[in-house]
Amino acid sequence: MVLRCWVVIWLMFCAVRSFVSTNAAAKCALPVIYMYSTRHFLCELRQLSSANRTAFSRQVSTMSAEGGGAEAKLAAIPDVEIDPDGKFKYILIRCHGPGDVSKDIVRGFAWAEFHADIYDRVAPGIEALGFDCECIGGGRIQHSRSQRNILVYGYSMGFGQADHSITVEKLKKKFPDYSSITFNNEGY
């Protein structure tokens, strides 16, 4: 778990440093970005259940035992990371490893003004693990944790429409106790 924490902190640092070096106007926002990123990361870390921590520890042990093979590293990337409630943009990302190793992941957050904002934040972390990635589409998610339902719909102006059926399958695995996880191809 500690290894993951340091890897995530290092990746956040590298992403922010890269952004600031290419955008002079962002230099004044650097302290705010670091503060938000660290606080957000620590909040998410606290929300991990002990079962998730144990499962992650086993994954890290397996990766070490196998010499950190591409399949093990790819399996350690969570299939789904979305906000717990609300209506927000999401993207479907395909991660490519050596040979035919690949995996689709879902990322969706309310903080994102554009679908590309999500991709710009997620891609450096995946690439740091040695994988290539591409956004294969986007849309919107309406998530109600209290009612235990999720609706996937719409499209991304920049990336096109994701295959919502893939997204729904990933969400069903992540939230097996939900009463309804559906999609439609309507709306924006």
Residues annotated as catalytic (active site), given as ranges:
115
Alpha helices, H only, 129-184 = 164-174
Strands 102-109 and 80-82: parallel
Alpha helices, H only, 129-178 = 164-174
Q: Do residues 99 and 132 lie in contact, with contact meaning Cβ atoms separated by under 8 Å? A: no
Beta-bridged to residue 140, according to DSSP, are 89, 153
- Residue 89 assigned ligand-binding role: yes
Alpha helices, H only, the chain = 2-22, 30-47, 50-65, 70-76, 115-128, 164-174
Quickly tell me which residue has 């500690």 as its tokens. Answer: 2
Cα 142–169–143 angle (5° rounding)?
15
Alpha carbon separation from 86 to 7, 39, 151, 168, 188 (Å, rounded): 29, 21, 11, 17, 15
Quickly tell me which residue has 């996937």 as its tokens. Answer: 152
Cα distance between residue 18 and residue 7, in whole Å: 16
Binding residues: 89
Annotated binding site for substrate: 89
